[in-house]
Amino acid sequence: MSFKSLILFLIISLAIGQQDPRTEFFPKLEERPEVIPSKENLWVFILAGQSNMAGRGKVEPMDTIPDPRILTINKTGDLILAKEPLHFYEPTLTGLDCGLSFGKELLKFIPDSVSILLLPTAVGGSAIQQWIGDETYRNVPLFSNFKEKVTIGKQHGTIKAILWHQGESDAASPETIDIYDKQLGVLFSKFRVEVENPTLSICFGRLGSFSKTDESWQSINSKMENYQKTDPFSYLIQTKDLNHKGDFIHFDSEGQRTMGVRFAKAYIQRGFIVVE
């Protein structure tokens, strides 16, 4: 082996040995759908919120097996087959979210002619007022980005619901906890105005029960429960039995997959769709 070949071999070996375990099973190939579903047969769901919607779980091989009926978008807005991770705004942080498990569960209950489009908009660490005020956070203009994805959704199909998980940032202050239910009302109203559907379904999730500041997290959960009682077109899923990934903040992979299933069942059981 020549000296140059030896150096190249060592560099490649070192790179493999230092592979980030977070991205070990990230998909290597982007796949385009063979056929774009007709607009009337494509149901659109927007994923919004902060890090537990953006996803911080470990992506495993099962999370990258695509279904031809579940689509998402890439950074340039092109339709691709959905593989985890769906979110791409925070490349050094993003992991498994609940989107693909939501889509796979929903497929069990909807007509075979219907496909699903999942549009990611969540950004870790974002507070609800930043969404309301369209602040730019981690280089993403939060509400403007949501509006952009609404446009894409309307172009390709019908927006059926929003999946929302957020509140950890707002749990940091008594002032933001106190008004959180009101802020949910303001933001969800803005979402519905943008989508042009005053009865748009919004499924949202409680914060976990594993925080080191659990009292404040549960206060946010109480505010979510208060809000849900006022909004017949929303549904709040449970998360208290789910585990964190070791940081006392983010759901682990099993928790993310379970949340996706629960969001799908909530959407179905609340009568948001007619199951034939």
pLDDT digit string, tens, across residues 122-168:
999 999 999 999 999 999 999 999 999 999 999 999 999 999 999 99
Classify 102 as helix, strand or coil: helix
What is the structure's pLDDT at 18? 54
What pLDDT shows up at residue 13? Answer: 40
Task: Write a three-state SS string for 19-65.
Answer: CCHHHCCCCCCCCCCCCCCCHHHEEEEEEEECHHHHCCECCCHHHHC
Give all strands (DSSP E) within the chain, no chain letters: 42-49, 70-73, 79-81, 115-120, 136-137, 140-141, 158-165, 201-205, 234-237
What's the token pair of residue 206?
A: 């409680």
* pLDDT < 70 regions, the chain: 1-19, 271-276
> Which tokens go with 12?
């490649």
CA–CA separation, 240 and 203 (whole Å): 16
| Token code pair at residue 54 | 């953006």
Give the fold, CATH level 3, of 36-269. Answer: Rossmann fold (3.40.50)
Return the H-helix or E-strand segment holding 94.
Answer: none
- Domain-by-domain residue ranges, the chain? 36-269
Instruction: Report d(CA 92, CA 266) in Å as an integer.
Output: 31
3-state secondary structure of 160: strand
End-to-end CA distance of the chain: give it in Å, rounded. Answer: 67
Give CA–CA dist 257/85, Å, rounded: 12
pLDDT of the residue at 134: 98
- Cα angle 215, 219, 223 (rounded to 5 degrees) comes to 170
Distance of CA 29 to the CA centre of its chain: 21
Please tell me the distance from the alpha carbon of residue 21 to that of residue 162, in angstroms, as a whole number. Answer: 31
Decide: 152 and 118 in contact? Cβ < 8 Å: no
